[in-house]
């Protein structure tokens, strides 16, 4: 995970001027909830990426304009469909930034990217990913 550009320049409204800001993510967490009797139970699937997912600043907008006390910034994520940007409420990005006063530098300490999806789609997606993983593991084994 890394950030190129000044992510703190991103405001509460999406703006194409921030396309130079790039956020590289190593993992995506997929979320769903399923009714278990009376209550909903949350399920998640964490996917570690071989090549990082890059989200550019023109697809992001901060949720709150105030500077957080703990350094955790929450962003709304927009999908680019043709020339239009459409807010996707199922995607969220959280970045925790720390400031080093000696170096005069803002440092990314953690990044969390989540995608919420319906239960049926989540189950199908999870089994598909696990099959791909097992296929990759079998390809590397030698026959004896």
Distance CA 139, CA 142 (A): 8
66 part of a folded domain? yes
20 part of a folded domain? yes
Tens digit of pLDDT for each residue in 42-92? 889 999 998 999 999 999 999 987 777 788 999 999 999 988 999 999 999
Q: Where are the alpha helices (DSSP H) in the chain?
A: 119-139
Q: What is the count of structural domains for the chain? A: 1
57 part of a folded domain? yes
Tens digit of pLDDT for each residue in 9-28? 899 999 999 999 999 999 99
The answer on pLDDT for 143 being more than 70 is no
Mean model confidence pLDDT for the chain: 88
The predicted model scores a pTM of 0.81
Core vs surface per residue 61-90: b (16+ CB within 10 A) or e: bbeeeeeeeeeebebbbbeeeeeebeeeee
Tens digit of pLDDT for each residue in 97-135? 988 888 888 889 999 999 999 988 998 989 998 888 888
Segments forming the whole domain that contains residue 98: 2-139
144 part of a folded domain? no
% of the chain with per-residue pLDDT over 70: 96
């Amino acid at each position: 995970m890394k950030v190129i550009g000044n992510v703190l320049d991103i405001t509460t409204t999406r703006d194409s001027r921030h396309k130079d800001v790039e956020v590289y993510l190593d993992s995506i967490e997929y979320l769903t909830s399923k009714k278990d009797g009376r209550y909903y139970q949350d399920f998640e699937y964490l996917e570690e990426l071989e090549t990082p997912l890059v989200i550019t600043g023109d697809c992001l907008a901060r949720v709150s304009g105030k500077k957080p006390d703990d350094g955790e910034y929450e962003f709304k994520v927009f999908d680019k469909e043709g020339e239009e940007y459409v807010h996707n409420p199922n995607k969220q990005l959280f970045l925790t930034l720390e400031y080093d006063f000696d170096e005069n530098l803002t440092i990314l300490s953690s990044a969390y990217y989540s995608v919420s999806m319906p239960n049926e789609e989540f189950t199908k997606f999870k089994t598909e990913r696990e099959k791909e993983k097992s296929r990759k593991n079998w390809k590397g084994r030698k026959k004896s």
